Amino acid sequence: MPSHYEVIIIGAGAAGLMCAASAAYRGRKVLVLDHANKAGKKILMSGGGRCNFTNLNSTPANFLSDNPPFCISALKRYTPQHFLDLVERHGIAYEEKAAGQLFCQNSSMDILQMLLSECEWAGAEIRLNTRVQSVRKIAGAYQLDTSSEILQCESLVVACGGLSIPTMGATGFGYELARQFGLRVLPPRPGLVPFTLQPELKTRLAPLSGISCPVSVLCNDQHFDEPMLVTHRGLSGPAMLQISSFWHPGDELAVNVLPDQDALSLLKAWRTDKPQSSVGQCLAQHLPRRFASAFADLHAWQGPLQNYSNAELHEIAETLSAWTIKPAGTEGYRTAEVTLGGVDTRQLSSQSMASLAHPGLYFIGEVVDVTGHLGGHNFQWAWASAVAAANVV
Ligand code: FDA
C-alpha cells in the first residue's frame, strides 16, 4: 500500500519549505521530497552568503512574465512585511543594503534554519536524497513512484525551481511534470546573468577586470541605473545582471558611462578649462581612473582636448552616453541567478497557483513564468506563491 499524505511538495528549496510549513500549520499532513542531499542549497549561496531575503519596495512592476497581472494577487496577500515579521519573530539580525533590499547580517543559514524550524514546529516531514521517478493521477489522487517507496497525495505541489546552477541540484523536472499534465511551458532561458564579450572587446577590456562604475544601461526599452563590473570573462554587476533578463541574442546594449552628467557640456567645459588635458584625464574626474584611461584608449581618444572640434566632441559625448556593445552571449545557466519563462500562468489560478485543468496540482516559485528583478524580489515571489498555495492545499 502506498504511504498517504494530504500534501506532497517536490523541492525543498525556498518555495517548497515555505509552503510546507504554512500548509502544515493549517493541520495538513505534509511531506517534502528533494533529490538533493541538503535542503535549501540556493538559499545558502544567495546574496553572497547573506541572503537578500526580500525587498521592502517589491511591487508587481519588479517582475517579468508573459502574463504580468498574474503575480499581483499572491504578492498583495503575502507582502515583504509579512516575511519580515517572520524573520523578526526568529530573532534574525538583518540590514537594509540598497533601498529596500534586506540581507541577513550574519549568514543565509539563518533564513534556511528559520524555514527548517518552521517546518519542524508545524509538523511537516522533509525527505532528502529522494528521486521522484514518475507521477500518475489515479482516481483523483496523485501517485508518486520515488527512489524509496510509492507515495500518494491529494495535493501535489511542484516547487522544483528552474534550470539555473545545475551543480546546486537544478533540474527541468518541474517543466517535465507540467508538460506531462498538458500545461504549456514558456521557453526557459537564463536571467540575472553576466554577459560574455566578443574576443576583441574582451581582450581590450581584460585589464579593467575588477573595476566597477555606476552606469545606466538600456536594452529593449528597459533601463537600469546601477553599477557595472568588468570581469575577466565579460560584463557583470547589478546593471548587467538586471538588463540580461531583457536581452535576447543579437541585441545591443547602450551603456551611459556618465549617467548623471551632460557629457557634451562636460567635454566643452574641460576643453575650455584644461585644453592640454586628454579626454582620459578629464574622464578620470568622474570615473575610476583605470576605467577612464582604458575607455579613452579603447576609442583612440588621444591627444589634448584643444585638438578636438565641436563635431568631434559631439561624437565622443554620444559614445559616453550610449556606448554600444553587442554581447557575444551570457554565461548561461552555470551562473544565472534565475530562469526566465516556465509554466504558463494562464493555466494556473492566481489565487491558489493550482492548475486550472488539474485542481490538486500546484506550481510555485521559480518553476512558474514569474521572474523578479535583482534585489530580493525572487525570494519574495517564492514566499508569496508558496503561501498562496499553502492556504488551499
Ligand atoms: P529553488 O531552486 O530554491 O529550489 C528547488 C528545489 O527543488 C531544490 O532544492 C532542488 O534540489 C529541488 N529539485 C529540483 N529538481 C528536483 C527533482 N527532480 N526532484 C526533487 N527535487 C528537485 N533571490 C533573491 O531574491 N535574493 C538573493 O539574494 C538571491 N541570490 C541568488 C544567488 C544565486 C547564486 C542564485 C543561483 C540565485 C539567487 N536568487 C536570489 C534566486 C533565488 O535563489 C531563487 O529565485 C529561489 O531559490 C527560487 O526558489 P524555488 O523554491 O522556486 O527554487
DSSP string, 275-315: TTSBHHHHHTTTS-HHHHHHHHHHTT--SBGGG--HHHHHH
A 10 A CB-CB count for 92 gives: 19
pLDDT at 140: 86
- Name every residue whose Cβ is closer than 8 Å to that of residue 220 and which is 6 or more positions away in sequence: 246, 247, 248, 251
Strands of 115-174 (E only): list them.
125-127, 132-138, 141-146, 150-158
Residue 224 backbone dihedrals phi, psi, to 5 degrees: -135, 135
- Name every residue whose Cβ is closer than 8 Å to that of residue 315 and which is 6 or more positions away in sequence: none
Q: How confident is the model at residue 161 (pLDDT cuts 50, 70, 90)?
A: very high
Average pLDDT across the chain, whole number: 96
Residue 372 backbone dihedrals phi, psi, to 5 degrees: -90, 160
* Alpha-carbon dihedral sign for residues 7, 8, 10, 13: positive
To test the ligand 1 pocket, which listed residue (95, 134, 160, 343) has its Cβ within 8 A of the most ligand atoms? 160
CA separation for the pair 297, 305 (Å, rounded): 14
Instruction: Tell me the residue length of the chain.
Output: 393
Strand partners, 141: 138
Asked whether 116 and 17 are in contact (CB, 8 A), the reply is yes
C-alpha cell read off for 266: 562636460
To test the ligand 1 pocket, which listed residue (163, 337, 374, 387) has its Cβ within 8 A of the most ligand atoms? 337
CA separation for the pair 36, 257 (Å, rounded): 43
Residue nearest to atom 35 of ligand 1 (CA): 337
Asked whether 324 and 219 are in contact (CB, 8 A), the reply is no
Give yes or no for residue 49 having a pLDDT over 90.
yes
pLDDT at 204: 86
Q: How confident is the model at residue 269 (pLDDT cuts 50, 70, 90)?
A: very high
CA–centroid distance for 338 within its chain: 4
261-296 exposure pattern, b = at least 16 Cβ within 10 A, e = fewer: eebbebbbebbeeeeebbbbbbbbebbbeebbbbbb
A 10 A CB-CB count for 36 gives: 17
pLDDT at 1: 81
Give yes or no for residue 294 having a pLDDT over 90.
no
Give per-residue pLDDT as tens, 123-148: 999 999 999 999 999 988 999 999 98
Q: How confident is the model at residue 60 (pLDDT cuts 50, 70, 90)?
A: very high
pLDDT at 55: 98
Choose among 259, 265, 255: nearest CA to 234: 255
CA separation for the pair 325, 247 (Å, rounded): 12
Give yes or no for residue 2 having a pLDDT over 90.
no
CA distances for 389 relative to 9, 83, 160, 176, 322, angstroms: 11, 16, 15, 20, 45
Whole-number Å distance, alpha carbon 42 to ligand 1 midpoint, is 5
Residue with cell 563590473: 229
Atom of ligand 1 nearest to the CA of 173: 18
C-alpha cell read off for 142: 496523485
Give per-residue pLDDT as tens, 315-355: 999 999 999 999 999 999 999 999 999 999 999 999 999 99
Q: How confident is the model at residue 168 (pLDDT cuts 50, 70, 90)?
A: confident
Asked whether 170 and 161 are in contact (CB, 8 A), the reply is yes
Whole-number Å distance, alpha carbon 14 to ligand 1 midpoint, is 6
Asked whether 382 and 12 are in contact (CB, 8 A), the reply is no
CA separation for the pair 206, 261 (Å, rounded): 26
C-alpha cell read off for 324: 554600444
Give yes or no for residue 36 having a pLDDT over 90.
yes
Q: pTM for the complete prediction?
A: 0.96
Give yes or no for residue 206 having a pLDDT over 90.
no
Give per-residue pLDDT as tens, 221-240: 999 999 999 999 999 999 99
Averaged pLDDT, 84-99? 96
A 10 A CB-CB count for 169 gives: 18
C-alpha cell read off for 145: 513512484
The tally of CA atoms less than 13 A away on the side-chain side of residue 313 is 23
To test the ligand 1 pocket, which listed residue (83, 144, 377, 378) has its Cβ within 8 A of the most ligand atoms? 378
Dihedral-angle region of residue 192 (phi above 0 means left; psi in -120 to 50 means alpha; beta otherwise): left
Give the DSSP letter of residue 139: T
pLDDT at 208: 86
Tell me if 8 CB under 6 Å of ligand 1: no
pLDDT at 170: 87
Tell me if 165 CB under 6 Å of ligand 1: yes
